[in-house]
């Protein structure tokens, strides 16, 4: 049975060692063809958007340069920075965490953008008590209304900052999430916003 959209978003946001290992495993074992011509893993400081687009059935989105395409269960696509390095002895390094972005999707089921965004925030807070919303804004992506939110949270002794953009078109909703450590947020903030704004619906 297909998981409800809100549950998928929460699963993507809940960060931990299990997800970090899943990313690495998928990166090493994946044999499926990729929609990006760039699969090199160079400097983690190269936080730019590549000219390559991920082309899905219903949308396109730019891929961060030198990030690896992978898959989190329940999402349409994800990208993670396999070359990212955290300080020796840090909690993030101990769990082999790598910053990542993911795109999720489901039907609205007659819920408005505001309703699904509020429900997302409420459910994340309920699932992760340390969650605090630090920023929110109304945006437009490809001519459609969107809600952007930034959260901070702590799990497994790691402080994280998470970006989520929820986009509405007709009865479809997409969520673009970017997850990183709070220490690296200033490094990735512009990239996360830029990638989210590159999202384009296919006619």
Under 8 Å CB-to-CB from 61, ≥6 apart: which residues? Answer: 53, 54, 77, 103, 176, 195, 198, 199, 200
94 domain-assigned:
yes
Full-model pTM: 0.80
How big is the chain by its Cα radius of gyration, in Å?
16
- Among the residue ranges 12-16, 52-56, 113-117, 187-191, the one predicted with the least confidence is 12-16
pLDDT number for residue 159: 93
Q: Looking at residues 20-41, what average pLDDT do you find?
A: 40
Instruction: Please tell me what DSSP assigns to residue 37.
Output: S
176 domain-assigned:
yes
The predicted-structure confidence for 31-43, as pLDDT tens digits, reads as follows 343 443 333 333 3
**pLDDT at residue 50 is higher than 70:** no
State how far the Cα of 56 lies from the Cα of 59, in Å rounded to an integer.
Answer: 5
Q: Which residues pair with 190 in a beta bridge?
A: none
Q: Looking at residues 89-97, what average pLDDT do you find?
A: 91
Domain range for 108: 5-30+52-201
| SS3 (DSSP) at 153 | strand
Q: Looking at residues 89-98, what average pLDDT do you find?
A: 90
143 domain-assigned:
yes
Instruction: Please tell me what DSSP assigns to residue 127.
Output: H
Confidence band, pLDDT 50/70/90 cuts, at residue 70:
confident
38 domain-assigned:
no
Count how many Cα atoms sit within 13 Å of the Cα of residue 83 in the half-sphere of its side chain: 14
The domain total for the chain is: 1
Q: Which residues pair with 97 in a beta bridge?
A: none
**pLDDT at residue 184 is higher than 90:** yes
170 domain-assigned:
yes
- Among the residue ranges 22-36, 93-107, 116-130, the one predicted with the least confidence is 22-36
Residue 166: Cβ within 10 Å count: 27
- Among the residue ranges 47-51, 102-106, 117-121, 135-139, the one predicted with the least confidence is 47-51
Q: Looking at residues 59-82, what average pLDDT do you find?
A: 88
Comparing 102 with 12, the larger pLDDT belongs to: 102
The CATH number linked to 83 is: 3.40.1000.10
pLDDT number for residue 40: 31
Residue 188: Cβ within 10 Å count: 22
Instruction: For residue 46, give both structure tokens.
Output: 């190269």
State how far the Cα of 26 lies from the Cα of 72, in Å rounded to an integer.
Answer: 9
158 domain-assigned:
yes
44 domain-assigned:
no
Confidence band, pLDDT 50/70/90 cuts, at residue 162:
very high
Task: Report the mean per-residue pLDDT for the chain.
Answer: 80
Comparing 74 with 25, the larger pLDDT belongs to: 74
Q: Looking at residues 53-78, what average pLDDT do you find?
A: 88
């Amino acid at each position: 049975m297909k998981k409800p959209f809100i549950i998928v978003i929460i699963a993507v946001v809940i960060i931990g060692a299990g997800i970090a290992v899943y990313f690495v495993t998928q990166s090493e074992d994946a044999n499926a063809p990729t929609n990006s011509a760039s699969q090199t893993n160079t400097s983690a400081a190269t936080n730019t958007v590549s000219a390559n687009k991920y082309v899905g059935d219903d949308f396109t989105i730019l891929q961060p340069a030198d990030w690896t395409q992978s898959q989190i269960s329940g999402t349409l696509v994800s990208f993670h920075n396999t070359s990212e390095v955290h300080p020796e002895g840090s909690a993030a390094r101990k769990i082999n965490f790598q910053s990542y972005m993911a795109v999720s999707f489901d039907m609205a089921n007659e819920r408005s953008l505001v309703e699904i965004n509020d429900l997302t925030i409420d459910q994340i807070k309920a699932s992760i008590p340390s969650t605090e919303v630090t920023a929110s804004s109304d945006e437009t992506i490809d001519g459609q209304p969107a809600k952007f939110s930034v959260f901070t949270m702590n799990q497994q002794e790691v402080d994280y900052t998470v970006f989520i953009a929820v986009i509405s078109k007709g009865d479809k909703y997409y969520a673009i999430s970017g997850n990183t450590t709070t220490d690296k947020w200033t490094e990735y903030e512009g990239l996360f916003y830029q990638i989210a704004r590159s999202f384009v619906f296919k006619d």
